[in-house]
Amino acid sequence: MRIILDGKKADDFVFESNRGGKLTEMSAQKIFYTALQKANILKPASFHSLRHSFATHLLENGTDVRYVQELLGHANIRTTQLYTKVTNPNLKKIKSPLG
């Protein structure tokens, strides 16, 4: 990133179109899907699924859900809780004290 950002001003785009302007959403998606194909990644993925994965991995590694909420920009903690899927295998090992 340092190489990409070197010489750029604070209001410059990090990733630019071929014409030097803003990269459109469609162009970004095309680049993303091309990269998936080149990497031979067959599992369906999208920018949105990356966002979900990011949040889930943070929670699985012990990050407080309130920090994840802030990072995702959610106003309500319930949105964050619905948004993430905790898949920690250790969770299955926990026994309920109620039986």
Tens digit of pLDDT for each residue in 19-76? 888 899 999 999 999 999 999 999 999 999 999 999 988 988 889 999 999 999 999 9
Entry pTM: 0.66
The pLDDT value given to residue 60? 83
DSSP 3-72: HHHTT--TTS-SSB-TTSSBPPHHHHHHHHHHHHHHTT--S---HHHHHHHHHHHHHHTT--HHHHHHHH
| Predicted local distance difference test score (pLDDT) of residue 72 | 95
Instruction: State the pLDDT at residue 46.
Output: 93
pLDDT given at position 83: 74
